[in-house]
Structure 1
Amino acid sequence: MSTPDAVFGPFRFNRVRRVLIKGEVPVQLGARALAILSALIETPGQLVTKRELFEKAWPGLTVDEANLKVQISGLRKALGDEGNFIRAEASLGYRFIGDIAFGHRSNEASERRRFRAPQNLTTPIGRDEVTSNICDLLNKNRLVTILGTGGIGKTTVALAVARKLAESYADGICFVDLGRIVHQDQVIAAIKGALDLHDGEEASIEQILLGIHRRQLLLILDCCEHVIENVAQLAERVLAETTNIQILVTSRESLRVAGEVVWRLEPLEIPPLSLQGAASDIDGYSSVQLFMRTVRQTIGDFLITDESAISVAEICRRLDGIPLALELAASVVNILGIAEIRRGLDQRFALLDLDRRAVIPRHRSMGATIDWSYNQLSPRLQAVIRRLACFAGPFTLDAASSVAPGEGMNAQSVPNAIVELVNKSLLSLNHQADPHEYRLLETTKAYASQAQGPFGEGQLARENHARYFLSLLEQQNWDDYEPVLGRAKMQGCLEEIRAALDWAFEFNGALAVRLTLAAERLWLELTSLSQSIHYLGLAMREVNADPDADAALRARVLVSYVSSQSHILISGVDEGSLVEQAWRAAQAAQDEFLQLRALYAFIDYLNFARRPLQYELDEFSVLAAKSDDPAIQQLPLLISGYYDVEHSDIVSSVNKLETFVANCVYFPRKYYLYFGNSLTLYSEVTVSLMRYWLGYCEQARTALAVLVESAEYRANSSTLCFVLAHGALLCELRSGDVDIASDYLQKLEQIAAFYKPWNVLVVCYRAILTKEEYKKQIVSVSDLRAAEQSLGKELKTEPFLKKQGGLFPILLFELAETRLILRDFEGVLETLQEAMTYCTNDQDARIIGEHERILAQTLVARNEPGDLEAAGVHFRRSIEVARFRSLYLYEFEATLGLAELELATGRPIVAGELVTQLLDRLEDRDQLPGMARAQDILHHASLAGTRELRDTPGQAGA
């Protein structure tokens, strides 16, 4: 027997569903207020204690009494005059004192059907907040449209809303699937049938209005885009001629009627491109969660591994977080596997055009979903969307107006077409961008790329696309370019340039070469090294294949190509021959600026190869002197300073580079990039490193910390990589500050994502950091062995490291010291021998000084007959060459080694004198690594001296 309703005054309370109705309209009350009302009504006239009310409304929770007072106050307000039926008993509780009748409704309302929407087959993922927001909109508005592209999950969200609001409508929720009808004139009949209005008459809006005017329900109209006009007319009439009907619409296009509130449904959250971590880094994203849930329907124990996490993240990104696309891809993981699906994304319709059973036709595949939208477009809009498919990413209205014109469409007509496509959810719009940006979803783009258009349409669009970006780059005022603000804007051009060049090199070589040269500055600004060298190589091949190519053009391409090699490794290229060819080509073209660029690259190569370069430097100086630009005139001083660095003339190098920096307070940005990036900053880094070797360690570390911040502000990855790898990390690791070094290494690791070979530097520095951590007993000896193997492997197999000039022998010495700690004496000697091949002269203190010191330490540790005497010789040789070049730090470390040897062999006084004489020349140097060792040696020497003095005959009684 069913539970009767409780009736009091104008109210009827359904005790089963806990719905309070006044007349025919439900009263909007929260769940806690309804629980309190239910408790009071069940025992009319009797006291219900506060404790009992808390248990009913807040089961299992401890809450403040004020919460109960708030709920009682709201309940009384909702009941109006009948609110006085709830009487408070001081400090005890409440009782309901009104007259209550219990019984079933016998009127028409109790007999008529209560509508229920169908249920989602699975719980929606990542849509809880959206569902709540749409419910809030329906509490304040009568017409809400969920707008979004096909497959994005509009119906799923609408059904989730229906489930959440199921008890809020006296007559329930009526769901109408309009996706199954074909013609506009079938809309009314479909709605009439869903409302169960079977009166035998022909369907009309009037019949629907008559049938629902006394009802209180939510009408969900699903998939309305193809019958939008008739749905809009119905909605207007319902809003105007009823009071208790609300409408929830799902559509790819809004109704555009008065009173409509639009909720634009976004894709599921996808892992950002910057996220390249482990499985735990991506499993919180809703797109990944949906993908994995679908996979587990066929592979119950499937888990994301750290290896597969990158592929899963890429799949979710490439499918734009569209739920239908994710489910389709996930449904074949059990057959194809994650890796194969990722590879198949470029042919996504071969992969995703899968026929799913037991679903409506438009959702059987992504192809069918986009067919549904595409076939609703006019031929004019179909042509526009096909032409826009050549964009690789977001585009502006200006870009679209340059690319989309063609047969039947001029540039002036494009803005209206863009508006229509946005309204139909075929273009996504980024309101935050300035100017606004538009984008085709990847699946829509793939469909449009394959759609058939008139002969030549696609080629014309791609040529327009290439010429638009050529014009954009040629008109860019790079001298006024602000790297921090401009980077985000120009970053989007990279993929567009790539797409344009891929087409142009196949179909329009001349345009491709011109666009490549225009893009060189962009690639330098954004550190897009791999893309730069790839397309410059293609451009060089293009001009070499053309016997009529202009000499100036040929020279510019070749010079740009070899200049890029100062940043990037090209396997299989004879670099020395190539840069010399570039210089000769620039001379033939009689272009002095090109000659300067080519000579700079040539000198850079010769310097790193430790080959004579005086002739080339003289030639460069002559050319630079002819320039009217003071910055160009300073470049020979810069080159000479770097030459001195490579030959260990450190004092001379510091003087020259400091003079260069002082003379170049303003150095035009174009020279930064064309001559090896931020030259003044590079010079300051080099000076700081040299000053560190000269013994001014704390000053150097402070200066390098400032330079790291400056490089980060410049937002150029090459610059930051140089500061970290050729300065800051070296000094912090040598000083033993593992915390700062770890922070710097993390920064290097982040920028290594821009260019794969930089990861080699990350591996090397991580190994050196492990060595320093082992010294502090932070890591185990097994960690140190793994680090030694990793560092040894990279130094042996990675030619990129040999392009790092003086950094490579420094890394070799770090490997030698690691092997010394592990007592791999044979490995140490082998490594030291290799390092000596980079020595430029018999006073090259950077090489000889380190070689002799580490060799001496190895002999001390090995301690075979004759080793200690030989070690003393090598320590003294290291001290001699370091002192000759004023490398106080090198001299300091070698002297400490020698003093410790003297202590160990019973000569403490000599040890003390060595350290004392060294510290007498300390001057304003401070915080050298090893100062604690120096003080320890002095302490032991002092103790030994005291004992010697005490033990000398005749001294005891003195």
Structure 2
Amino acid sequence: MSDRDERPGRTFLFGPFRLSTSKRVLLEGDRVVRLGGKAIEILIALLERAGELVSKRELVEIAWPDTFVVEANLTVQVAALRRALGEDDSANQYIVNSPGRGYRFVAPIRVIEKERPPLDQPASPEAHNLPAQLIRLVGRSEALRSMKQKLTDGRLLSIVGPPGVGKTSTALRLAETMLSQFRDGVWLIDLGSIADASLIASVIASALPIDVRSSDMLSGIAAALRYKSLLLVFDNCEHLIDGAAAAIGELLRSSGDIKALITSREPLRIEGEHVFRLPPLEVPPMATSLSPKDLMAYPAVQLFVERAAAIINDFELTDANAAFAAQICRELDGNPLAIEVAAARVDAFGVKGLAARIEDRMHLLADARRGTPARHRTIAAALEWSYQLLSERERHVLRCLGIFAGNFTLEAAVAVIPTTEGTDTASIIADLVCKSLVSVDIGSEGARFRLLEITKAFALAKLIEESERNELAVRLASCLTEMLRKYADGPKRVQTLRDAVQELDNVRGMLNWAFSPGGQPQAGIALTAAAVPVWLENSLLTECIVWTTKAIEALEAPAESEPSEMILKAAFGLAMMFTEGMTSQSREALNRSIELAGQLGDPQWELRARLGLVLFLHRRGDFKGALEGTKKIERLVADVGEPAALAMTKSVKSASLFFRAEYATALNLAREAHEYFRIHSDASHIGRWGLNHSIYAQCVMARSHWNLGRFDRTVLACLSAHSEAEKTGNPTSICQALSWCGVSLFLSLEDLDRAAGALQRFRQVAQDNNIKSYVFASIGYEGRLFFLRGEIEPAERLLREALSKLSGAQYDNVSIPFLGRLAELLAVDGRPEEGLLASAECLERTKATDALWLLPDALRIHGDVLAVLEGPDSRSAEAHLRESIEVSERQAALGWELRSAESLANFLRRKHQNEEASAVLGRTLGKFSEGLESIPFRRAKALLDELRRVASAEEARPSARKADPRV
């Protein structure tokens, strides 16, 4: 335990603030001031030595123990502290900088040695992804009250206004005040990083704590949010206004508990929208002599003074500078961003000098940007003016930062921006933060920087103007590619790949550039390949298909493109398989990836593609091909040398063996696979290998138990798989557990109540996430449930509908069993001729696909239908029923044997061969050691008791006839 962890908890009081050292929480009144952990540690260190100079070296060691960081990180953290404390008018009274030496806390403090009891501690923060707002929002109190009321009364509020007016900061503050009103949180979705409306759904999915697997991602998101209470904050909608309007409208229609707050330069113009046009800050009137005190009543002047005070410790509004401050605010039309930018240069030119420079440069920029809309000119002028006041090196760094479409780390910026001897990019970025040209968001994992949208557009325009964009884009694409490769190959790759979603805005920006005219497709191909694990791990499958398609189209013939093609084709095939189904495109892509991996000697990617192909073949019902594919996978595992790969191989092999009716071996392999995943719960499943193999293994276990006649263990295995799948929250995993070892097995056990409950959940998840194959399967299971309840008409309608749709989707391993169920129904309903066609097709397709696991039941059903059609003298019916028992015995498939023995016993009873019927059924029932209370066992036992009673009665009749003299 570190020394600071052993220190007694104390509370420091200063100004309106209260800092708890034990809880590491800063309060302003009752409001939590959200700061990162580094900033809190620095503040505690300064408070504990209040009045003393604390050196930069000491503060770096406190905030970053045992870690080397550049000094600019400390500058950034102190700037963040000052901004947070700047919510008080006397912020400059707290932390004073001693240039080159360190910092000193100078304000009066009071220390409480015993902290308040837990009741006074702030509540845990609600679920959200809102960035910390470190700057006080000036002049928006009335607007916030009005907007809050509109959003409380309605469901959609659009904050509309020109660039720089503060739409984003106002929306974020409004969202922050409403955190407690939404059970499932408040979530920011920034559309500023994308230029293609088709990616809106992907950006939404990556911002929300949901997992979507659907060919229609937006419908999947809407379904996932259907029963949630949350606020969605859509920022920067103007450039995708039609797509944003459509997406937001669909989400709002999906649930009555979702509300949306958007920022845009124009309204969405959809039903239910309330529009709030955010005006500039109020400025002092012209030609009016007002005192400094009177001027401070105007929000624009308040903002100017606060931002200037954050730069100059002793700055205040005086009789000498008040008129010039008012002039600056008027010249900038009360635009908050422009005022902030101007105030950041008070230290260099003074208030009077700033006023003169702004006035001189307004017409110059207007002339240079005649095509710029009038509403843009004021903020553009302010940015141009501030840009020209920077040193050449600062200008270079600022425009280079325009290459980032999203937020970025200090390390990424340093890596991307070209350096010259004697310059320190990190320090320059820290200076730009202090000058309000770069924003910083400080979270628990460190600082991430960003440019406000208008600043970003300005910097990018400058970059293009200087013909530097392509050079920077190449550097950033290369940096991102290398970064994502390290994430995928690192020891904690699962977590790092999940965290890497915060890099996707920059990835999208670079891919848009790379695949556009004048871009560099090869850089885009490399970046797409590196981003594949991030998309797969975070279930962004639709986005994966979009970019891999573009990258594949850009591939060139030379051999050096083959490694990228291998990765792209594998990712495309996996994503298509889960979203579009068992298409020829998916199969061809996986096969091409396998071919390339073999040629390139890359066992990792060959294994990944082969695992995907085996899953494809399982779903298609090509079990012979799947077993051959499994054998090829086994030969690769030794080369890969990864325990998770071995466990996943056991998982797919257990399934392949199950379909081959090798139940005991399949069960052992599935247990071994599941045990690995139980111990290594953080192992990547879907992201790297296309499936949650822990759930897959448990499904094999449950089905093997049923086929082996272990009915009690079947139920336990089903419930375990369901529980684990629900904990993952992954729709595909939930559907898999509920379908393959849930509804179907509960129906086989004739536990209709459990089957109905599982079916309801299965259907809900499948429909909500638009997972078509499972939706179709749920229709068939519902038909089977109706049949077991004796409702023939709806049962037939649903079974036929399921068969039609499953056939179109090529999900043969599900459709073939439903053919048998339809045949049974038709025979019971007095239509054995129709039933015979269905049962014959079921048996023929079972044999053709080598689905040995299904063979005993297909034989039994065909025999039962023949018995109804041809009567008790049907030799063919009896032959099929006896063959079904023989096959079941060879497979040790006691579950199927019980069904076949019951059918044969009933057939023999109709022929009055009760003694043989009793022997057949008794031999099978005697093999059971569990499941004796299950409905199938009890029904068969009741039949056996009846057969024995009749057989005993028949035995008694001959002796009675001999004793009767009349015989």
Partner of residue 513 from structure 1, selected from 504, 525, 533: 525
* Deviation sequence 1:316-338 (CA, Å, 0-9, x none): 999743599557545999xxxxx
CA drift at 1:825: 4.9
The 8 Å contact of residues 504 and 512 in structure 1, kept in 2 or not, is answered as yes
Tell me the equivalent position of 1:645: 658
Partner of residue 538 from structure 2, selected from 513, 523, 526: 526
Using the alignment, how far apart are the partners of 1:718 and 1:894 within structure 2? 34
Amino acid at match of 1:649: E
Q: How does 1:204-219 map to 2 (within 5 A)?
A: none
Tell me the equivalent position of 1:938: 944
Using the alignment, how far apart are the partners of 1:643 and 1:621 within structure 2? 12
The 8 Å contact of residues 397 and 415 in structure 1, kept in 2 or not, is answered as no
Partner of residue 797 from structure 1, selected from 788, 808, 831: 808
CA drift at 1:583: 4.2
Using the alignment, how far apart are the partners of 1:810 and 1:321 within structure 2? 50
Tell me the equivalent position of 2:127: none
Farther-moved stretch of structure 1 (918-927 vs 452-461): 452-461
Amino acid at match of 1:512: G
Tell me the equivalent position of 1:920: 926
Using the alignment, how far apart are the partners of 1:450 and 1:740 within structure 2? 63
Tell me the SS of whatever aligns to 1:527: coil
1:542–1:695 Cα change, 3 Å = same
Using the alignment, how far apart are the partners of 2:535 and 2:571 within structure 1? 11
Using the alignment, how far apart are the partners of 2:748 and 2:693 within structure 1? 25
CA drift at 1:500: 3.7
Tell me the equivalent position of 2:720: 706
1:872–1:389 Cα change, 3 Å = farther
Where does the alignment leave 5 or more consecutive residues of structure 1 unmatched?
A: 1-144, 164-221, 227-249, 255-261, 289-303, 334-359
Farther-moved stretch of structure 1 (566-575 vs 851-860): 566-575
1:474–1:876 Cα change, 3 Å = same
The 8 Å contact of residues 896 and 934 in structure 1, kept in 2 or not, is answered as yes
1:611–1:455 Cα change, 3 Å = farther
1:628–1:768 Cα change, 3 Å = closer
Tell me the equivalent position of 1:898: 904
CA drift at 1:852: 2.2
CA drift at 1:890: 0.7
Q: How does 1:803-822 map to 2 (within 5 A)?
A: 806-817=813-824
* Deviation sequence 1:813-870 (CA, Å, 0-9, x none): 445456666666566444434433443579954333222222334345x556678665
Tell me the equivalent position of 1:142: none
Q: How does 1:676-691 map to 2 (within 5 A)?
A: 677=691, 679=693, 682-691=696-705
- Is 1:855 the equivalent of 2:869? no
1:944–1:569 Cα change, 3 Å = same
Amino acid at match of 1:511: A
CA drift at 1:893: 1.2
Amino acid at match of 2:262: G
The 8 Å contact of residues 383 and 458 in structure 2, kept in 1 or not, is answered as no
Q: How does 1:354-503 map to 2 (within 5 A)?
A: 377=383, 412-414=427-429, 434-435=445-446, 454=465, 466-476=477-487, 478=489, 480-481=491-492, 483=494, 489-493=499-503, 497-503=507-513
Amino acid at match of 1:854: I
1:518–1:819 Cα change, 3 Å = farther
CA drift at 1:891: 0.9
The 8 Å contact of residues 168 and 263 in structure 2, kept in 1 or not, is answered as no
TM-score by length of 1: 0.55
- Is 1:886 the equivalent of 2:898? no
The 8 Å contact of residues 526 and 716 in structure 1, kept in 2 or not, is answered as no
Using the alignment, how far apart are the partners of 2:232 and 2:628 within structure 1? 63
The 8 Å contact of residues 745 and 762 in structure 1, kept in 2 or not, is answered as no
The 8 Å contact of residues 579 and 601 in structure 1, kept in 2 or not, is answered as yes
- Over alpha carbons, which structure has the higher Rg? 1
Tell me the equivalent position of 1:276: 222
* Deviation sequence 1:357-378 (CA, Å, 0-9, x none): xxx999xxxx998887676656
Tell me the equivalent position of 1:89: none
Amino acid at match of 2:515: F
The 8 Å contact of residues 226 and 254 in structure 2, kept in 1 or not, is answered as no
The 8 Å contact of residues 637 and 645 in structure 2, kept in 1 or not, is answered as yes
- Is 1:836 the equivalent of 2:843? yes
CA drift at 1:518: 1.6
- Is 1:765 the equivalent of 2:765? no
Tell me the SS of whatever aligns to 2:922: helix
CA drift at 1:922: 0.9
The 8 Å contact of residues 580 and 602 in structure 1, kept in 2 or not, is answered as yes
Where does the alignment leave 5 or more consecutive residues of structure 2 unmatched?
A: 1-133, 151-160, 188-203, 211-220, 235-244, 275-332, 336-372, 389-394
CA drift at 1:807: 4.1
Using the alignment, how far apart are the partners of 1:149 and 1:405 within structure 2? 38
Using the alignment, how far apart are the partners of 2:882 and 2:174 within structure 1? 79
1:146–1:737 Cα change, 3 Å = farther
- Is 1:589 the equivalent of 2:530? no
CA drift at 1:920: 0.9
Tell me the SS of whatever aligns to 1:695: coil
* Deviation sequence 1:601-654 (CA, Å, 0-9, x none): 666667753456898777665555566667767887766654433333333433
CA drift at 1:309: 4.8
The 8 Å contact of residues 406 and 457 in structure 1, kept in 2 or not, is answered as no
Amino acid at match of 1:589: L
CA drift at 1:489: 3.0
1:318–1:586 Cα change, 3 Å = farther
* Deviation sequence 1:718-766 (CA, Å, 0-9, x none): 555544443334323322445544555566567658975x332133124
* Deviation sequence 1:439-492 (CA, Å, 0-9, x none): 899999999999997365776776566445434312326553375x66763445
Using the alignment, how far apart are the partners of 1:956 and 1:442 within structure 2? 107
Using the alignment, how far apart are the partners of 1:286 and 1:731 within structure 2? 40
Tell me the equivalent position of 2:667: 654
Tell me the SS of whatever aligns to 2:560: coil
Tell me the SS of whatever aligns to 1:882: helix
Tell me the SS of whatever aligns to 2:715: helix
Tell me the equivalent position of 1:24: none
1:267–1:932 Cα change, 3 Å = same
Aligned positions, number: 668
Tell me the SS of whatever aligns to 2:846: coil
TM-score by length of 2: 0.54
CA RMSD after TM alignment: 6.1
Tell me the equivalent position of 2:748: 734
Tell me the SS of whatever aligns to 1:549: helix
What percent of counterpart residues are identical?
16
Amino acid at match of 2:801: S
1:732–1:159 Cα change, 3 Å = closer
Tell me the equivalent position of 2:554: 542
Tell me the equivalent position of 2:707: 693
Using the alignment, how far apart are the partners of 2:561 and 2:653 within structure 1? 34
CA drift at 1:948: 5.0
* Deviation sequence 1:761-819 (CA, Å, 0-9, x none): 13312440353256347xx66653552343123122213x24xxx44433444454566
1:901–1:853 Cα change, 3 Å = same
Tell me the SS of whatever aligns to 1:321: strand
The 8 Å contact of residues 402 and 457 in structure 2, kept in 1 or not, is answered as yes
Using the alignment, how far apart are the partners of 1:307 and 1:952 within structure 2? 84
Q: How does 1:195-274 map to 2 (within 5 A)?
A: none
Tell me the SS of whatever aligns to 1:921: coil
CA drift at 1:508: 2.0
Amino acid at match of 1:775: L
Amino acid at match of 2:921: V
